[in-house]
Amino acid sequence: MKLKEYEKLVDKHSKKENKLLNFFISFLFGGIIGVLGELFVVFLEKKFYLPLSEAYMYLMIFLVVFGSILTGTGYFDKVVSFAKAGLIVPTTGFAHTMTSCAMDHAEEGPVKGIGSNIFKMTGCVILYGLVSAFFLALLKGVIK
């Protein structure tokens, strides 16, 4: 079979995803998570009298723990299959990427498996985040 015919066959049988629908679904779920986060921050401020920056830190920690546990129990992929990017773009997605990389290689042992694979995908996030923040901060500091 030629490559073009094969591609046509694949095209015919692969599911067409509705991009507009995906857009609105991720908007909806992302928005809901944003509102829940705001409720959580207000709750921390009112109940525990935390300053705003610490409330934001606990919000990030809560999202990370939530994402990790969802990944560990295997529900993350099920939720993502209908919430789309509404759960990937919040910090839960970061925790999911890190946890799933670690989990996939857990059976190879704690050092060679988890140790060498835990930053496989999130290394990208930390590397470019850190490098860009470093140079941008240096630039802004020197300009001022």
Partner 1 sequence: MIYINAFILCGLICALGQLLLDNTNLTPGHLNAILVVIGAFLSFLGLYEVMLDWAGAGASVPITNFGHLLFKGAYEGFLSDGFTGLLKGILSTSSGGLSVAIIMAFLVAIFSKPKH
**Binding to partner 1 by residue 71, rule CB under 8 A?**
yes
Question: Rule CB under 8 A: which of 103-142 touch partner 1?
Answer: 103-104, 106-107, 110, 114, 118, 121-122, 124-130, 132-134, 136-141
Question: In the bound complex, what is the minimum distance in angstroms from residue 27's beta carbon to partner 1?
Answer: 4
**Binding to partner 1 by residue 76, rule CB under 8 A?**
no
> Long-range contacts made by residues 65-74, C-beta under 8 angstroms, separation at least 24?
65/95, 66/92, 66/95, 67/91, 67/92, 67/93, 67/94, 67/95, 67/96, 67/99, 68/95, 68/96, 68/98, 68/99, 70/96, 71/95, 71/96, 71/99, 71/100, 71/103, 72/99, 72/103
Question: SS3 of 2, please?
Answer: coil
Interface pattern 50-69 for partner 1 (x via CB under 8 A): ---x--xxxxxx-xxx--xx
Matching residue, tokens 């759960």: 87
Are 105 and 114 contacting, i.e. CB atoms less than 8 angstroms apart? yes
What are the CA-CA distances from residue 47 to residues 18, 50, 54, 61 (Å)?
43, 8, 13, 18
**Binding to partner 1 by residue 30, rule CB under 8 A?**
yes
Choose, by CB under 8 A, the member of 4, 47, 74, 81 that binds partner 1: 74
Q: How many residues bind partner 1 (CB under 8 A)?
A: 78
**Binding to partner 1 by residue 46, rule CB under 8 A?**
no
In the complex with partner 1, the residue whose CB is nearer, 1 or 14, is: 14
In the complex with partner 1, the residue whose CB is nearer, 34 or 46, is: 34
**Binding to partner 1 by residue 79, rule CB under 8 A?**
no
Question: In the bound complex, what is the minimum distance in angstroms from residue 115's beta carbon to partner 1?
Answer: 9
